[in-house]
Amino acid sequence: MSRTAADGVRTTTARLADGREIVYFDEGGGPPRVPVPDRRDLPPFSAASELRFDPLLREWVIVASHRQTRTHMPAADACPLCPSTADRTTEVPDGDYDVVVFENRFPSLSAAGGPPPDGPDGPGEAGPDRRPGTGRCEVVVFGPDHDASFADLTPRRVRTVLEAWTQRTRALSALPGTEQVYCFENRGAEIGVTLPHPHGQVYALPFVAPRTRRVLESAREHRERTGRDLFSDVLDAERRSGLRSVAAGEHWTAFVPAAARWPVEVHVYPNRPVPDLPALTDAERDDFGPLYLDVLRRLDALFGMPLPYIAAWHQAPVRTGRDLSRLRLEVFSVRRSPDRLKYLAGAESGMGVFINDVPPETTARRLREAAP
């Protein structure tokens, strides 16, 4: 099945050998893609995880023991995200692609649901605090170049990635049981990346993430107390001050938050309040790529080396708190100097009290001065 979006991105949907869905996002015109069949002999896809509720923190924890066997840092000639060749079929059966999305082979959550097999301690406990880990996890591959990074993409390619995130947000939000869609990218071995090929992931969560719930509580309290939008007040204050500003465009603003937890942390806000990626206008989508690439290249220039980071899109939940939410991208890194990483200390890991060794104003100034 193929269709073309307003920006000319053509999507084609197919199935991998084990039944998982794969979606190609192709740029430009031309005839519809005819997907190459997956030649691998794979057993039917099946992955089960479990949700367990922590009554102290009132948070769900995902238990997914099958992920222990997932692919870990393969050699370049064994990368499962590269295009397939005549000699080797990867997770992407075609020999070339622009952007591609497929269901994760080792997902934390899956439509199959169901508790994992009984462990050595016997059957799992039943009850409302334990339930199947139903949801969906997808991989988003940003391009065929194994040695590239997101910062190497063109603005056109970023626009295509943004289209993929947007379409998958719509599709996963419509799945029964989805409460929040989370798009993110991990980059660098220091962050814990297990596949170096440039890619990200999309999760369809069966609950509202704990951090989102806490932020929504703050936004609700702020509105009740002031009658104003919390995110707009934060953005307006940063734009007026300029002290922690990194980059700004007609539709987006990037800044280091005043209470940054990480030695390098940048938030990217749309200047207009919108709840999620599908709510962006074409102009906002077009403006995102140039500004975000500028930010990423400054991050790499900060220490003169590729910066390990997590880039996390915060979107409104599917059903609750949408009037209180604001789309934003938060990028942060564990690197605090060219030769030192930040490891969570006792107060941070044990009590959630973060201690930042680098003043946010210093980070913002260094990023403004960094030559992208």
The angle subtended at Cα 158 by Cα 156 and Cα 163, nearest 5°, is 95
Q: Residue 115's pLDDT is what?
A: 53
Please say if the pLDDT value at position 69 is more than 50: yes
Check 66, 199, 267, 314 and give the catalytic one: 199
Q: How many residues does the chain have?
A: 372
pTM value is: 0.93
Annotated binding site for Zn(2+): 79, 82, 146, 197
How crowded is residue 245: how many other Cβ atoms within 10 Å of its Cβ? 17
Supply the angle between the helices 155-173 and 282-302 in degrees, to the nearest 10: 120
**Domains detected in the chain:** 2-116+127-207 (3.30.428.10), 211-369 (3.30.428.10)
Q: Residue 122's pLDDT is what?
A: 41
Name the nearest CA neighbour of 218 among 204, 233, 203, 205. Answer: 233
- In this prediction, residues 334-339 reach a mean pLDDT of 95
How crowded is residue 274: how many other Cβ atoms within 10 Å of its Cβ? 18
Compute the distance between CA of residue 86 and CA of residue 75 in angstroms, rounded to an integer: 18
Only one residue has tokens 């947007």, namely 166
Supply the angle between the helices 230-241 and 210-226 in degrees, to the nearest 10: 80
What would the pLDDT profile of 237-285 be if each residue is shown by its tens digit? 999 999 999 999 999 999 999 999 999 999 999 999 999 999 999 999 9
CA distances from 63 to 40, 274, 282 (A): 29, 33, 39
- Terminal Cα-to-Cα distance of the chain (whole angstroms): 40
Phi first, then psi, for residue 265 (nearest 5°) are -150, 130
Report H helices in 196-281. Answer: 210-226, 230-241
Annotated binding site: 79, 82, 146, 197
Amino acid identity of residue 262, one-letter, is W
Compute the distance between CA of residue 344 and CA of residue 352 in angstroms, rounded to an integer: 9
Share of the chain above pLDDT 90, in %: 84
199 is catalytic: yes
- In this prediction, residues 163-167 reach a mean pLDDT of 98
More confident residue, 123 or 142: 142
Q: Residue 44's pLDDT is what?
A: 87
